[in-house]
């Protein structure tokens, strides 16, 4: 369980920091983001929340988790807009950060340098297992990184891959359970080993190794 870090002595100018919540689809990134933001609100801190404008799966403005928890957010089309809108808030939340442009690294560093707590959630890997967008750099500059895990729908183990069930080569393809499933390492790679077409039957006198 992530516990909020304490900032420095009250007499000193407070420094901010960056927290990253990463993992596969269905791993609970959005739930954890909402949990941390709600706790900040209970502590009477001023919170602003952003998501990339591209992600309108459940709602134009709300951030919604797979189990229907939600929190109001401001959609942005470019990372620089976050600097403009964050204003005097104390805590900044950002969901689906993998979809934002690389300017987001500079933006979160500026926000933290200005004394804000910045909490970012996003997919660390795309469906091919490659790092997604600016997430690797965000994890590098963050003070705190939390990797959350889903459950493999094939075998019940811990899952950290988002397996794409439909054929589409594009890195960005919005979707839910109809297009993606959480898989563990073994079940994710199992699909590579299946022959694309059925192997021809062995000829007589030919022995299988």
Output the six-digit token pair for 183.
């898989």
Q: Which residue has the tokens 């183990």?
A: 157
Site for ligand ADP, rule CB under 6 A = 23, 25-31, 65-67, 150-151, 153, 182
Nearer to Zn ion, 25 or 34 (CB): 25
The minimum distance between CB 107 and ligand LXEULUCI, in angstroms, equals: 20
Q: Quick check: 31 and 131 in contact, CB under 8 A?
A: no
Q: Find the binding residues for ligand LXEULUCI in span 103-132 (CB under 6 A).
A: 123, 126-127
Nearer to Zn ion, 154 or 179 (CB): 154
Q: Find the binding residues for ligand LXEULUCI in span 82-101 (CB under 6 A).
A: none
Among 53, 129, 131, 175, binds ligand LXEULUCI (CB under 6 A): 175
> Which residue of the set 96, 176, 178, 181 is catalytic?
96
Q: Is 187 annotated as a binding residue?
A: yes
| 73 binding ligand LXEULUCI? (CB under 6 A) | no
Q: What is the CA radius of gyration of the chain?
A: 20
CA 46 to chain CA mean position, Å: 23
- Given the DSSP bridges, would you call strands 158-159 and 161-164 parallel, antiparallel or unpaired? unpaired
The minimum distance between CB 68 and ligand ADP, in angstroms, equals: 9
Q: Quick check: 187 and 194 in contact, CB under 8 A?
A: no
Q: Quick check: 138 and 20 in contact, CB under 8 A?
A: yes
State the binding partner of 155 from ligand LXEULUCI, Zn ion, ligand ADP, none, CB within 5 to 8 A by kind: Zn ion
The b-or-e profile of 109-138 (16+ CB within 10 A means b, else e) is eebbeeebbbbbbbbbbbbeeeebbbbeeb
Annotated catalytic residue 19: no
Sequence-separated (6 or more) residues with CB below 8 Å from residue 58: 64, 70
**Residues facing residue 48 across a β-bridge:** 92
Q: Which residues are annotated as a binding site for substrate?
A: 172-175, 180
Q: Which residues are annotated as a binding site for Zn(2+)?
A: 152, 155, 184, 187
| Catalytically annotated residues | 96
Binding site for ligand LXEULUCI (CB under 6 A): 25, 29-30, 57, 123, 126-127, 162, 171-175, 180
């Amino acid at each position: 369980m992530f516990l909020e870090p304490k900032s420095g002595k009250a007499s000193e100018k407070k420094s901010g920091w960056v927290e990253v919540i990463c993992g596969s689809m269905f791993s609970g990134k959005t739930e954890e983001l909402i949990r941390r933001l709600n706790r900040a609100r209970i502590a009477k801190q001023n919170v602003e929340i952003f998501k990339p404008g591209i992600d309108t799966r459940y709602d134009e403005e709300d951030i919604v988790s797979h189990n229907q928890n939600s929190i109001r957010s401001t959609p942005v089309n470019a990372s620089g807009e976050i600097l403009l809108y964050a204003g005097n808030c104390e805590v900044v939340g950002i969901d689906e950060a993998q979809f934002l442009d690389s300017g987001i690294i500079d933006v979160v560093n500026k926000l933290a340098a200005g004394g804000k707590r910045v909490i970012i959630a996003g997919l660390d890997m795309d469906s091919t297992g490659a790092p997604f967008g600016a997430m690797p750099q965000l994890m590098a500059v963050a003070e705190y990184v939390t990797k959350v895990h889903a459950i493999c729908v094939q075998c019940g183990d811990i899952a950290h891959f988002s397996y794409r069930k439909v054929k589409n080569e594009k890195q960005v393809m919005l979707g839910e359970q109809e297009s993606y499933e959480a898989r563990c390492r073994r079940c994710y790679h199992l699909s590579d080993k299946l022959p694309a077409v059925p192997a021809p039957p062995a000829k007589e006198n030919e022995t299988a190794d």
